[in-house]
């Protein structure tokens, strides 16, 4: 569970240095992502922003969920796929925020001042990992406690972070369904291949 430990210590480290004036500048320059940033700069900062906790939320209360999400994913999916899901859901939330701000106020769009809000930090990755695990492991209780609760929270409090979380949940579900179909297709192909080989050997 080295990835889970690394992610947890990264969040603690960035939170602690953010408490100092110089550290706050470092975190802002390398890890803070907002909707009004130029896209290339936002993409460069996104890997670091994955571990920058939101200032208005209690970081210590979120650490157990962060560790559990990365630990379960790393044990079930492996390190590479865990990183891909965490980064993919975070990036999807970030890009969707820019798209909604681009649409303007009203409907699915957001007013320009929403571009000043900071990215969700590790929370989008956490909800994305839990949702992905719940789908591929067919765990409705896990989904209800994580992705489902996030959907209800986002509907009741429709702010920018809530919308990014909804996008993270949706992307995680899509990725999990695609993975299951790909895995099922490969398994079916192998079964047919083995059956075909046996038929050929039997005809001989």
pLDDT of residue 87: 92
pLDDT of residue 145: 82
User: Does residue 87 contact residue 47 with C-beta atoms inside 8 Å?
Assistant: yes
Structural domain boundaries enclosing 140: 2-203
Q: How far is CA 2 from CA 73, 102, 123, 142, 172, in A?
A: 12, 39, 19, 23, 23
pLDDT at 161 over 90: no
**CATH number of the domain that residue 161 is part of:** 1.20.1540.10
pLDDT of residue 200: 56
What is the total count of domains within the chain?
Answer: 1
* 95-128 pLDDT per residue, tens: 888 888 888 777 777 787 777 877 777 888 999 9
Residues 6+ apart with CB under 8 A from 90: 46, 49, 50, 119, 120, 124, 125, 128, 168
What gap in Å lies between CA 65 and CA 70, rounded to an integer? 9
């Amino acid at each position: 569970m080295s990835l889970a430990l690394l992610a947890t210590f990264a969040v603690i480290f960035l939170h602690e240095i953010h408490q100092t004036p110089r550290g706050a500048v470092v975190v802002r320059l390398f890890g803070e992502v907002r909707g009004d940033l130029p896209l290339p700069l936002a993409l460069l900062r996104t890997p670091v922003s994955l571990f920058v906790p939101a200032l208005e939320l209690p970081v210590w209360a979120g650490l157990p969920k962060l560790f559990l999400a990365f630990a379960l994913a790393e044990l079930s999916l492996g390190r590479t796929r865990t990183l891909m899901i965490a980064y993919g859901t975070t990036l999807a939330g970030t890009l969707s925020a820019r798209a909604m701000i681009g649409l303007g106020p009203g409907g699915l769009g957001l007013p320009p001042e929403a571009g000043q809000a900071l990215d969700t930090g590790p929370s989008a990755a956490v909800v994305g990992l839990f949702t992905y695990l719940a789908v591929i492991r067919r765990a409705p209780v896990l989904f209800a406690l994580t992705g489902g609760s996030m959907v209800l929270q986002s509907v009741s409090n429709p702010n920018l972070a809530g919308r990014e979380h909804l996008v993270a949940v949706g992307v995680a579900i899509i990725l999990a369904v695609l993975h299951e179909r790909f895995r099922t297709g490969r398994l079916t192909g192998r079964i047919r291949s083995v059956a075909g080989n046996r038929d050929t050997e039997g005809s001989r």
